[in-house]
Amino acid sequence: MTETSSMAPAQQESGSQTLAVRASGVDRAFGGVQALRDASFAARPGEIHALAGENGAGKSTLIKVLCGLIKADRGTVEIFGTEVSRVVEPAARRRMGVATAFQELSLLPDLTVAENLLLENPPRGRLGLVKRRGLGPAAEEILGRYGVDDIDPRATAADLSVAQRQVVELVRVLAGEPRVVILDEPTAALADRQVEWLAGHMRQLRDAGSCVIFTSHRWREIEALADRVTVFRNGTHVATRDTLSEAEAVTLMSGRSFAGAYPELTTVPQRESALRVKGLHSGRLHGVDLDLRRGEILGVGGLAGQGQRDLFLTLFGAQKARQGTITLDGKAVAIRSTKDAIRAGIAYVPEDRKAEGLFLPLSIRDNIAAATLSRRNTAGFVRRGAERTAVGSIVDQLSIGKGRSTNRAVDTLSGGNQQKVVMARWLLTDARILLLFDVTRGVDAATKHDIYELVGKLAAQGRAILYYSSETEEIAHLCHRVLVLREGRVAAELAGPVGDAERIVAASIKENHDA
């Protein structure tokens, strides 16, 4: 093992062979949030380089800087020794051989698979015109080269499943045979067999001399694939190693020792059922039963895209159920809208706080008060005194924004504080049932810890909590009980705290080898 963490990688390697990618001293802020500070990164040609770090560590931002989607506020970026810091145009990077598969920015939804694959290099006929009829066969040939035979090249991208879209996105990137490949969370939506498929192609590219950079949430993938690992924490480079054990990695990523990252589960659920669901069909859900008791933290696990989101949205009235019954405190209820759900004492804290949670330019107070406006309403007017009191007390309770004015716009807060603002909005509703959907995503370690403790405290108050997280580790430690969803059904139920996340992963992928 080589210890290189004491020096920034860029300095350390500047003397050796030409680096494929080199970033040094990169700063980048979004609103009030410093996503990267003095960040450095270096990767060589002919290696698979994993970029590890917790959510919110700055991995995605670094990737966007590397591929020219956003500009660094400060610092330099070099591709094969050429300085490119001033150029903000992915097209220019592509010409230098840099290709990127993004986590969110993915395919063009209205275009066909073939058009997506061949957008920048379509087959041409006489006069140099694009052969529209040739698009399908050409795409078929490319997909075939990568052993993909279950995707119709003429299908519109919007109609594909999440996993299929991911596969097309990867083929698009791989097929360009780039000199630098950057893959942001390429496996999140893939089944085991597809992960193997991808790994094979990544190795092939490396052996051909390309530089392959990837991020992943699953440690065993990093272990299996990466020649080297770089760890990021709080927007900056922490270490680059040839080998790294999981325990060490967690320590480096969180800045804490492996044990004690999660508070102990001390409470015991009550006996009364708070929410009972029978035979729920909605979106990808095909008959889900569950019984959530008061004071219980019920985890929902499984691979990404097995219907977890549909379950949460349907229970919150934001999505229509095709079939099934919902019982609250023993009474059957019909939840047809978010308004109904809020009235019934249900709260939903979404994963993507920017898209689904926050009103970024509005004040902290406006954001927190948004779900309870009608409770402080006299003849249509906001009772501002009452609002200030209510918001003030919850802000103190969650220690949001270090006691500064609640008139500040939310986009000046850090990711952790932003997530707390969304939580505060829902705590103000006095909801008895909390649907927490990946609430620790993109949140720093300290806030994560605050949220874990808050969740425990809420359960101790007798509230019922349905908890989903993309970090299986969290579900394994925080929950009284875990339901594993697979293909829209409950595939397994594990008593908690499960402790070992691998058990949940194993239950998620069992019988899934034929996928």
415-427 vs 384-398: helix crossing angle, rounded to 10: 120
445-460 vs 415-427: helix crossing angle, rounded to 10: 20
* Residue number, 93 or 206, with CB nearest to other proteins: 93
Residues in the chain: 515
* Residue number, 121 or 461, with CB nearest to other proteins: 121
* Residue number, 102 or 219, with CB nearest to other proteins: 102
Q: Is 332 in the site for other proteins (CB under 8 A)?
A: no
* Residue number, 344 or 485, with CB nearest to other proteins: 344
Q: Which stretch binds other proteins (CB under 8 A): 79-87, 187-195, 367-375, 443-451?
A: 367-375
* Long-range contacts of the stretch 385-394 (C-beta < 8 A, 24+): 390/428, 391/364, 391/365, 391/424, 391/428, 394/368, 394/424, 394/427, 394/428
Are 475 and 439 in contact by the 8 Å Cβ rule? The answer is no
* Residue number, 15 or 380, with CB nearest to other proteins: 380
Q: What's the token pair of residue 37?
A: 């500070």
Q: Is 356 in the site for other proteins (CB under 8 A)?
A: yes
Q: Cα–chain-centroid distance for residue 442?
A: 7
In three-state secondary structure terms, 79 is: strand
- Least CB distance to other proteins at residue 281 (A): 14
Among 54, 351, 366, 438, binds other proteins (CB under 8 A): 366
Between CA 77 and CA 399 the distance in angstroms is 38
Q: Is 500 in the site for other proteins (CB under 8 A)?
A: no
* Residue number, 384 or 404, with CB nearest to other proteins: 384
Among 162, 163, 191, 370, binds other proteins (CB under 8 A): 370
Residue 511 CB partners (closer than 8 Å, separation 6+): none
Between CA 190 and CA 329 the distance in angstroms is 38
Q: Is 191 in the site for other proteins (CB under 8 A)?
A: no
- What is the distance between the terminal CA atoms of the chain, rounded to a whole angstrom? 37
* Residue number, 106 or 325, with CB nearest to other proteins: 106
Between CA 266 and CA 268 the distance in angstroms is 7
Q: Which stretch binds other proteins (CB under 8 A): 98-106, 250-258, 287-295, 451-459?
A: 98-106
**DSSP strand pairing (481-486 vs 297-301):** parallel
Between CA 137 and CA 297 the distance in angstroms is 51
Each residue of 461-497: b (16+ CB within 10 Å) or e?
Answer: ebbbbbbbbbbbbbbbbbbbbbbbbbbbbbbbebebb
Whole-angstrom CA distances from 356 to 13, 56, 352, 437, 513 are: 43, 18, 6, 11, 34
Nearest C-alpha neighbor of 75 from the set 89, 86, 61: 86
Q: Is 377 in the site for other proteins (CB under 8 A)?
A: yes
* Residue number, 69 or 446, with CB nearest to other proteins: 69
Q: Is 374 in the site for other proteins (CB under 8 A)?
A: yes
What track of x and - describes contact with other proteins for positions 109 through 128 (by CB under 8 A)?
A: xxxx--x---xx-x-----x
Q: Which stretch binds other proteins (CB under 8 A): 38-46, 216-224, 289-297, 361-369?
A: 361-369
* Residue number, 118 or 239, with CB nearest to other proteins: 118
* Residue number, 330 or 385, with CB nearest to other proteins: 385
Among 18, 83, 105, 209, binds other proteins (CB under 8 A): 105
* Residue number, 91 or 259, with CB nearest to other proteins: 91
Between CA 316 and CA 322 the distance in angstroms is 14
Q: Is 71 in the site for other proteins (CB under 8 A)?
A: yes
Among 44, 131, 281, 408, binds other proteins (CB under 8 A): 131
Q: Is 319 in the site for other proteins (CB under 8 A)?
A: no
Q: Is 334 in the site for other proteins (CB under 8 A)?
A: no
Among 3, 89, 141, 196, binds other proteins (CB under 8 A): 89
Q: Which stretch binds other proteins (CB under 8 A): 255-263, 298-306, 365-373, 473-481?
A: 365-373
Q: Is 137 in the site for other proteins (CB under 8 A)?
A: no
Q: Is 90 in the site for other proteins (CB under 8 A)?
A: yes
Are 321 and 282 in contact by the 8 Å Cβ rule? The answer is yes
Q: What's the token pair of residue 28?
A: 């980048």
Q: Is 316 in the site for other proteins (CB under 8 A)?
A: yes
DSSP-derived secondary structure for 196-247: HHHHHHHHHHHHTT-EEEEE-S-HHHHHHH-SEEEEEETTEEEEEES---HH
Q: Is 388 in the site for other proteins (CB under 8 A)?
A: no
Q: Which spans of this chain sit near other proteins (rule: CB under 8 A)?
A: 67, 69-71, 88-91, 93-94, 100, 102, 105-112, 115, 119-120, 122, 128-132, 154, 156, 159, 172, 316, 318, 337-339, 341-342, 348, 350, 355-362, 366, 369-371, 373-374, 376-377, 380-382, 384, 409, 425
